[in-house]
Chain A
Amino acid sequence: MTLVLFRIDERLLHGQVIVGWGMRLGIDYYVVVDDDLAGSDWEQDIYSAGLADRTAVDFVSVAETVQRFSELDSREGRGALLTRGTEDMRALGEAGLLSGKRVNLGGLHATGSRRRVLTYVHLDPGEEEDLKAIHAFSSGVTARDLPAGREVGLEELVDVLE
């Protein structure tokens, strides 16, 4: 099959993703794109602790993702690709990997520099620009925390910010 979910969520592998999206979409493997995490065994141990035994996970850097993308996107089963923030997803878009894919914005929580857009999405101006770029590189960006939740278009997110 292929990667069926591209999601930006700073919590990476957590309940909404594994239980909410994973069970609904029947996800068999996860690709977690994060430069720091790709080199940290103890963090990988913790992040993967919530996965069922039969579910595979790869922790890869942005560069490695670009290099191995055709293999990651054509494995047996259905996969989900996760990035912690907008910057890494934008980098994948700039490398041409998001063409024809829809990107899901799932969770960016409050920090000092971010403004609340939805209860689960907070953005700073740089992230807003990243999202516009991702939108251009892909088939579109929408925010939705859970499959049963309301899908919010990028236009609406930007409207809230402006």
Chain B
Amino acid sequence: MSWSELSLGPGTWLLAVLGGGLLGMDAVSWPQVMVSRPLVSATVGGWLMGNPVAGMLVGAVLEVYALRHPPFGAAKYPDTGPAGLVAGASYAASGGAAMGALLLSVALGWALGWIGAVTVHVRRRLNERIMSPAGELAADPGLLEQRHRVAIWLDGLRGAILVAAFLVPSMLVVTLVVGTGPSSLGRYAVASLVLGLAASAGAAGRSSAFGVRGWPLILVGAGLGLLLILGGLT
């Protein structure tokens, strides 16, 4: 796969941007059915490019990374809807087979998730203006409803803009990497992602555990995974 073979029609681009709007809205504003999780959004991105399997592989890696960022209280967490879509679409568009493209798609998706988090913060500040002055809104409930809906639409617009701005550049960069074959450092690159997944899983496990007593279960789970592999079930 090279740049010249890369194709993205205006219809697909528009669909991706609209999808980015819905996925951007879902995490916080409406309806919170979790289509914004990377597991879903990256698969949607892959499906748009004709390769949902590639998209879902990216989504699975991003999901394990995202698990350690539950939105408890004021905790900061990546905005994985539009980011997952872009990452999944980028890997799928690159052919969905090259390891370098997978590594880069995941890293770009993660970075875009945190860029998305900044836009979420900006939007929350903007909402302060939209939802004021309080007295005026209380006096006119219709206005309150209208402003609330405007705030939701703006969240959708935020997601759409993220996809519109980053989809094509991300696809181009990832496709460029496809030409870079494995080298002597290739296996260290793969090992880096694998160990990153392990560290992320450990940190995620701790945020799920009620206290520190759950650590042996990580081992039991890994053992179960190993049995499934050795038993030929994967």
Taking a contact as CB atoms under 8 Å apart, the answer to whether B73 and A14 are in contact is: yes
Choose among A16, A26, A52, A119 the residue that contacts B73 (Cβ–Cβ < 8 A): A16
Taking a contact as CB atoms under 8 Å apart, the answer to whether A145 and B211 are in contact is: no
Encoded as 1 (CB less than 8 Å from any B CB) or 0, chain A from 119 to 151 comes to 110000000000000000000000001101100
Encoded as 1 (CB less than 8 Å from any B CB) or 0, chain A from 12 to 47 comes to 001110011001001000000000000000000000
Closest A-chain residue to B128, C-beta based? A110
Taking a contact as CB atoms under 8 Å apart, the answer to whether A146 and B210 are in contact is: no
Taking a contact as CB atoms under 8 Å apart, the answer to whether A145 and B73 are in contact is: yes
Alpha-carbon distance A161/B212, docked complex (angstroms): 40
Taking a contact as CB atoms under 8 Å apart, the answer to whether B211 and A19 are in contact is: no
Contacts of A146 in B (CB 8 A): 72-75
Alpha-carbon distance A148/B72, docked complex (angstroms): 12
Contacts of A148 in B (CB 8 A): 75
Choose among B72, B210, B212 the residue that contacts A15 (Cβ–Cβ < 8 A): B72
Taking a contact as CB atoms under 8 Å apart, the answer to whether A19 and B210 are in contact is: no
Task: Determine the main DSSP class of B at the interface with A.
Answer: loop
Contacts of B211 in A (CB 8 A): 23, 26
Considering residues A14, A146, A148, which has the most beta carbons from chain B within 10 angstroms of its beta carbon?
A146
Closest B-chain residue to A120, C-beta based? B74
Task: Determine the main DSSP class of A at the interface with B.
Answer: loop
Alpha-carbon distance A127/B113, docked complex (angstroms): 37
Contacts of B72 in A (CB 8 A): 15-16, 19-20, 146
Encoded as 1 (CB less than 8 Å from any A CB) or 0, chain B from 203 to 218 comes to 0000000111000000
Alpha-carbon distance A16/B74, docked complex (angstroms): 7
- Give the distance to chain A from B2, nearest Cβ to Cβ, in Å: 43
Contacts of A14 in B (CB 8 A): 73
Alpha-carbon distance A62/B202, docked complex (angstroms): 42
Alpha-carbon distance A20/B64, docked complex (angstroms): 21
- Give the distance to chain B from A22, nearest Cβ to Cβ, in Å: 10
Taking a contact as CB atoms under 8 Å apart, the answer to whether A20 and B210 are in contact is: no
Alpha-carbon distance A148/B74, docked complex (angstroms): 10
Contacts of B74 in A (CB 8 A): 16, 119-120, 145-146, 149
Contacts of B212 in A (CB 8 A): 26
- Give the distance to chain B from A114, nearest Cβ to Cβ, in Å: 14
Closest A-chain residue to B134, C-beta based? A112
Interface residues of B (CB under 8 A from A): 72-75, 210-212
For the A-B complex with A14-B73, A19-B73, A148-B75 known, give 4 more contacts whose Cβ atoms are closer than 8 Å.
A16-B73, A20-B72, A20-B73, A23-B211
Question: Could you list some 15 contacts between A and B, CB below 8 A?
Answer: A15-B72, A15-B73, A16-B72, A16-B74, A19-B73, A20-B73, A20-B75, A23-B210, A26-B211, A52-B210, A120-B74, A145-B74, A146-B74, A146-B75, A148-B75
